[in-house]
Amino acid sequence: MINLYNKAKMIVLLSFLLFTYNLSAFIILPEVRVKNEIVTLEDIVWTLDENVLHKLENIEVGRIRIPGGRIILRKNTVLSKLSLVDISNSKIEIPDRIIIERAFSSLKKTDLEEIIRVELSKVYGDTSYDYKIDIAIGEIVRMPIGNLSYYLDKSAQERILGRRDLTLLVYEEDKEVYRIPFNLDVGKYIKEYTLKRDVKDGDEFSTALVDIKEEFVYEESQLNSFEYKEGQIFTKTLLAGTKLNSSHLDKKSLIKKDENVQIYLNFGNMQVRDKGIALDSGDIGDEIRVKNIRTEKTIRGIIRKDKSVEIVSY
């Protein structure tokens, strides 16, 4: 189906081709669709005279910054622009108004965000940081038409962590055809664990005991996310509402760090025993460091089920 714009253009062009054979004649189109932001007289004129087109190509009549946008030119505006050019044909008919639209292609917002992420990876390289990208547009983005390439403005290189305003530059060949502003947050998603009830030293950790909330943080000191492991226990008594960190939990252990332990060393059928202090926590079968109280030497041993430590290396 031919839309109203195409019908009007076809009628005008057919009229021109059928009723004039003068190569220097030209007409002003009542409706025009342009590709780029800057609209010139050349865009709204139909003529076979290349010399005239060359004169009109640099005379700007308006700008359409957003793909899919439009402007309306009035007759007087066109006349004033034409007065800047030496055109011999004085029989120019100009519509009372000229509707000019900027052509566009459609792109999903998620696809545009992925384009931005690719460009960010070129700036920042391989990083463990997360990106939050906020583009103040709908789910479908109107983009310029053509073979496009993308770049970030230079301010993207200034710093990594934090929040800032950036711009995605859109190019067709070597010409900038569009700019898309967006907000960028560079940081990390971490999980925050908050106790829902009181716990005691030695209680076993369970996700049922906590509220878990994901948070995006920017500060370097906050980037180390607390993560629990299976079989961990609380190392101290804590009240409900406490936000957990790594010091609050440790793996379930038969021997705790700084605990007095019995150490022994086997020599064939002989066994030498001594006293020591555990420098690590551990369970049965774990290898830990132990300090011999008598010699003050640090040694390594395996925890046995009777809570003694069998020395394996000096």
Residue 298: which residues within 8 A CB-CB, separation 6 or more?
279, 289, 290, 291, 292
Per-residue b/e over 66-89, b at no fewer than 16 CB within 10 Å?
Answer: ebeeebebeeeebeebbeeeebee
SS3 264: strand
End-to-end CA distance of the chain: 89
SS3 123: helix
| Stretch (H or E) spanning 220 | none
Q: For the chain, what is the mean pLDDT?
A: 85
Instruction: Indicate if 260-313 has the same CATH topology as 4-103.
Output: no
- Give pLDDT, residue 43: 94
- Give pLDDT, residue 137: 85
CATH T-level topology, domain 188-250: Type Iii Antifreeze Protein Isoform Hplc 12 (3.90.1210)
Domain ranges of the chain: 4-103, 106-185, 188-250, 260-313
The letter for the amino acid at 156 is A
Give the CA dihedral 45, 48, 51, 56, nearest 10 degrees: 10
CB-count burial class (<10 Å; 0-12, 13-18, 19+) for 309: buried
Flag whether the pTM goes above 0.85.
no
In sequence order, what are the beta bridge partners of 128? none
* Predicted confidence (pLDDT) per residue in 129-161, tens digit: 889 999 988 899 999 998 999 999 988 888 888
- Give pLDDT, residue 68: 93
Indicate the DSSP class of residue 222.
G
For the segment 189-208, the average pLDDT, to the nearest whole number, is: 88
Closest to 24 (Cα-Cα) out of 87, 80, 93, 94: 87
CATH number for the domain whose boundaries are 4-103: 2.60.480
| Stretch (H or E) spanning 221 | none
* Predicted confidence (pLDDT) per residue in 242-257, tens digit: 988 878 887 777 888 8
Read off φ and ψ for residue 180, nearest 5 degrees.
Answer: -120, 105
Closest to 47 (Cα-Cα) out of 4, 87, 78: 87
CATH number for the domain whose boundaries are 260-313: 2.30.30.760
What is the spatial distance between Cα 22 and Cα 64, in angstroms, rounded to a whole number?
Answer: 33
Cβ atoms of 130 and 189 within 8 Å: the answer is yes
* Predicted confidence (pLDDT) per residue in 288-310, tens digit: 999 999 989 999 999 998 889 99
Residues in the chain: 314
| Residue 21's pLDDT band (cuts 50, 70, 90) | very low
